[in-house]
Structure 1
């Protein structure tokens, strides 16, 4: 029997997970990987740690290599750009970026893990020297090199990547300005009572916050280096600018051949299959099933990518293991605070038209008779009519972020506040109080539900 010929386009999180698992499950398969960059499997979430000196060697942020894949029998064509794909004929055309040679490659199964690329707005000065992107290994190295001579740095975009870079630059002694078109930081991930604390922390460290402002252009000097960022509300001096505006999926190769969201994110079913037979997709190039709303959404996270890539391998020949969807669970450490969230914030839930209520608890995370204890803030968002949990956020100087992983499971399984109130959690004074924080939230939700019934 002829061995299965599998082509994989792109090799970061989803691609690496798919390749490694396909090679293990189907050792007879012929696997060919096309990667336009000169490296694979870079953990871009570690860029700020590298910039700040926490991770000394960027090489430590790679978790695979062409050599390791070769040991599994995989052929990895580095610096090879796929120019076109014909999903009906099962042919792709690629170019060797080193030699310029072009060739065709036939496949039986195609795995598209082309990832995403930073959004680059069209505006005056965008191509000035020292206006940087933050996505891959080469970007990380360039940021570190340019930052050495920069005194004033502007970061555009107050999401996770932007906030982490701001912290890293500030700790390096730079004058930092954070610009975002929303009126507060981390808007997608946290409600105002949480972001207020983060903003106070940043300002206390000397970071200038330019929020609710849209960047319109950049100005430079006679040497072509950026000097000023112009927004709709003012201008800010900067020797270096890092754009962290967001990402869009790299999916031009399949445009018009498979179903996509309006932004180009590939639609896949619960087995990672696209709308075209024998074509699979995973990671940042895809839309995912977002459990809190029950709809497809574009949520580029490494965790989603690794899960989806692994599922491609499991379902390559026949549908075997279903994707459970995502809650977009994530965490971040900003100075002394450990922060995590899952599902919908109250702001996002209301914007989506959901009728929600919330419970917010502020308490010490363990008994006051212990030598030390820290304050914790927990917020749980739930549907007002059913009590079904749709989101949660936590913040504390103590690391309680694993509680949000628990809440992610609750959302995935459509648990109610009534059920959360009496889930079995352990008690030990080193770690918590007799009534676990999550139980407390459930109990308060019960009270709110009861009050609602009394008023009907």
Structure 2
């Protein structure tokens, strides 16, 4: 069996390693256009902020490690065309400029995603960077050392983590987003208000509800970001507006969502036999609404890549879907969410109710205790849990992993009230916060 894998980050690495173990007689070839693999891009802000000193720790595999498994890894090789029906592809060697053809019995598409780059006047000026791979992180560190005024455009996870890292390095930082709240895809206003206050208290300027209209420069280098509402000095600009799937090779050959995300079934198979996809290049089953969505997360990618290997020869294990569970630390606050927020439920036109619990996470007789805020979103008619969010200075984020399981299991808010959770004064109260949410619901 001849297996070809295109792309080698989270999903690709998971698929390759598992294929090598499950099918020791298979011929596995990996094509990767970069000269590094398996970079944990979620660690870029930690690297920029100096929390991670050695970037080598952000790589969890290498061509040498894959070679030990019998895998042939072709670095700096760009797949320029794929003919799925004829099971062949054309490859360009970026170092030698050689073009050649290869064939496959099974094709695994793990081409990932790429930052969205809007067409803005002045985008070609120097010191306007993106944040995705290892080379971007090095460029950001190098440029930021000489910059005083840094503007980050996009207030998602990457943008928020970067502004904190820059501020901790003593920079003047501005965060711009066209939405009127940071992290609006993941959290409701009660939570983003606290996060925004924490950023503002650390002198980070928030320019929310503003759209960038142009960049201005001096001597070909960016010097100013202009929005529809203001102007901001900038020696360095980081674009972190979002991501889109890198699937141009397969347009017209595989079924996709409107944004180009490849649609896969519960066994990770695409619309064509013997072609599988995983990670940021494809859609996922989003359990709260029971539909395919585009949710690029490393956790989704490693699960899906592993399932590709398990299902490559015959359907074996179904994908359980995702709740889009994620977390972030903003200064002293530990924040996590899963499933639908109240605001996202409204965009899906789902009739929901919410319950909010605010309580100290452990008994007041303990030497210290922190206030925690938990919100649960549930369907009004069925009472099925659809989402949850938590914020606290104590790290209670694992409770959102529990809520993810509740959503996946289609648990109701009434059932949550009486789930068996342990009590120990070091960690919680006799009624766990999750129990309290169930008890407090109407």
TM-score bracket for the superposition, by shorter chain length: over 0.9
Equivalent-residue separation in structure 2 for 1:310 and 1:273 (angstroms): 13
Equivalent-residue separation in structure 2 for 1:85 and 1:386 (angstroms): 46
Please point out which of 354, 357, 363 is paired with 1:358: 354
Equivalent-residue separation in structure 2 for 1:11 and 1:355 (angstroms): 41
Equivalent-residue separation in structure 1 for 2:121 and 2:153 (angstroms): 15
Instruction: Show the counterpart of 1:391.
Output: 387
- 2:87 is equivalent to residue 90 of structure 1: yes
Q: 1:161-194 CA deviation, whole Å, 9 max, x = no partner?
A: 0000000000000000000000010000000000
Instruction: Show the counterpart of 1:313.
Output: 309
Secondary structure of 2:264's partner?
coil
Equivalent-residue separation in structure 2 for 1:252 and 1:239 (angstroms): 34
Equivalent-residue separation in structure 2 for 1:406 and 1:202 (angstroms): 28
Equivalent-residue separation in structure 1 for 2:334 and 2:360 (angstroms): 15
Instruction: Show the counterpart of 2:75.
Output: 78
Please point out which of 404, 408, 429 is paired with 2:404: 408
Structure 2's unaligned 5+ residue stretches are: none
Q: CA deviation at 1:351?
A: 1.5
Give 1:125-140 correspondences, 5 Å limit: 125-140=122-137
Q: CA deviation at 1:69?
A: 0.1
Instruction: Show the counterpart of 1:451.
Output: none
- TM-score w.r.t. length of structure 2: 1.00
- 2:175 is equivalent to residue 178 of structure 1: yes
Equivalent-residue separation in structure 1 for 2:120 and 2:51 (angstroms): 34
Equivalent-residue separation in structure 2 for 1:126 and 1:110 (angstroms): 36
Q: CA deviation at 1:72?
A: 0.1
Please point out which of 225, 242, 252 is paired with 2:248: 252
Secondary structure of 1:284's partner?
helix
| Backbone CA RMSD of aligned residues | 0.4
Equivalent-residue separation in structure 2 for 1:293 and 1:125 (angstroms): 40
Please point out which of 59, 62, 67 is paired with 2:59: 62
Q: CA deviation at 1:88?
A: 0.3
Instruction: Show the counterpart of 2:99.
Output: 102
Please point out which of 25, 30, 33 is paired with 1:33: 30
Secondary structure of 1:307's partner?
helix
Give 1:272-421 correspondences, 5 Å limit: 272-421=268-417
Q: 1:214-240 CA deviation, whole Å, 9 max, x = no partner?
A: 111101102x11000011111111000
Q: CA deviation at 1:358?
A: 0.5
Q: CA deviation at 1:10?
A: 0.1
Secondary structure of 2:378's partner?
strand
- 2:183 is equivalent to residue 199 of structure 1: no
Equivalent-residue separation in structure 2 for 1:410 and 1:359 (angstroms): 15
Give 1:158-177 correspondences, 5 Å limit: 158-177=155-174
Instruction: Show the counterpart of 1:452.
Output: none
Secondary structure of 2:146's partner?
coil
Secondary structure of 1:148's partner?
helix
- 2:10 is equivalent to residue 13 of structure 1: yes
Equivalent-residue separation in structure 1 for 2:367 and 2:34 (angstroms): 52
Q: CA deviation at 1:127?
A: 1.4
Q: CA deviation at 1:350?
A: 1.2
Q: CA deviation at 1:285?
A: 0.2
Q: CA deviation at 1:195?
A: 0.3
Please point out which of 200, 209, 212 is paired with 2:209: 212
Instruction: Show the counterpart of 1:151.
Output: 148
Q: 1:357-402 CA deviation, whole Å, 9 max, x = no partner?
A: 1010110000000000000000000011111000000000000000
Q: Which runs of 4+ in 1 moved over 2 A?
A: none
Q: CA deviation at 1:313?
A: 0.1
